[in-house]
Amino acid sequence: MSNLTALRQTSENDNGRGSPLVRLEGLSKSYGSNLALSPLNLEIEAGDFFALLGPSGCGKTTLLRLIGGFLKPSGGKILIAGQDVTLLPPERRRTNIVFPSYGLFPHMTAQPTLDYWLHVVQRPDDEITRKVSNLVSLVHLEGLENRLPSMLSGGQQQRVALARALILEPAVLLLDEPLAALDLKLRKSMQEELRALHSSIGGTFVFVTHDQSEAMALANRIAVMRDGRIEQEGTPKDIYLHPTSEFVARFVGEANIIPGYRRSNIAKLNCGIELPSKGREGPVSLMIRPDDICVSRLGTEESEVTIAGRLIDQVFMGTYVRLTIETAGDTKLNAHIERSDGTAPMSLGTNLTIGWSGRSQRILEGH
């Protein structure tokens, strides 16, 4: 049984099955009068592939480095497997981190890079040989063990950095935008490898990204961050289909946001439609995803919610065509329709009816 497996089972036995491996309680970070991270609570389960998602400067890297012990919190607690590690240095936590720059020794090839850390903790030679061989195979570095970092591609350097971070079998692997330096094609390939690696070792990964498609592709849970706080946390499906704020709706995927006002349990939207909507009176907005909108010639759409409009733009996006349709109140909505090979595009100015199911829309409080 590996140390990772033993730790995961110990955590479940000690804390109750399904209890969090990582628990943050009122964690905050300030730099003088600047609040970089508002007090927050967060739980990460053993085995999660957990994404911290948000724009630059939102606090996601600060949060990751607090978990790893590279920053000292201004308040709150960090618990890993039930142990309070808030004041422990990085080397005394059961975590390890992969930085965006990889941080490889320029004079050291992959083999001694991995050997080094096991020698530091005085592991037997036969164990070192076995573990290094297993990790080289796991991250697909066979035949590259004796190459310097300068002789490796970006993806290969990333694999060495991952192997080095995993060699001591941390309870939590922290990944700080690990794919940011790679081109698009290589990033997609490394996403698949990270997903396979996580599945293979069954560990707990926490990674930082500003790329919502990357978070959706890799994570089973996502925390969307904004201005030093967690705006929403949940599964990728929940966050995409049921955003709790306009910020989340716009940041995770493409969204149409139609402003309006709620009075007497009726939401009156700027595009001219009215919908039943229970809640407090005041500004609201309706969120509808472009791929949930149906488009037809004027007067033929039979969706639950329909509105007339005029086509003002269309862009071929490869797998779909994005239409921009102007409706009442100068409201512009985007709709994604299937690509129609060999069919002439609609003329700009064409009158259309757009519609959607009531299950696809979401009323958000405020603007």
272-290: average pLDDT? 94
pLDDT band of residue 14 (cuts 50, 70, 90) is very low
What was the pLDDT predicted at 17? 43
Residue whose structure tokens are 């590690």: 85
pLDDT band of residue 4 (cuts 50, 70, 90) is very low
What was the pLDDT predicted at 299? 60
Q: Could you state, in order of their start, the residue ranges of all structural domains in the chain?
A: 3-94+170-246, 254-365
What was the pLDDT predicted at 298? 64
* CATH class given for the domain over 3-94+170-246: alpha beta
Asked whether the predicted pLDDT for residue 171 surpasses 70, the reply is: yes
Asked whether the predicted pLDDT for residue 7 surpasses 50, the reply is: no
Q: Which residues contact 316 (CB under 8 A, 6 or more apart)?
A: 339
Condensed to tens digits (0 to 9), the pLDDT of residues 99-113 reads 877 777 788 888 877
pLDDT band of residue 156 (cuts 50, 70, 90) is confident
Using a pLDDT cut of 70, give the percent of the chain over it. 92
Q: What are phi and psi of 4, to 5 degrees?
A: -60, -45
CATH number of 254-365: 2.40.50.140
The answer to whether residues 171 and 7 touch, using CB atoms and an 8 Å cutoff, is yes
Condensed to tens digits (0 to 9), the pLDDT of residues 65-76 reads 999 999 999 999
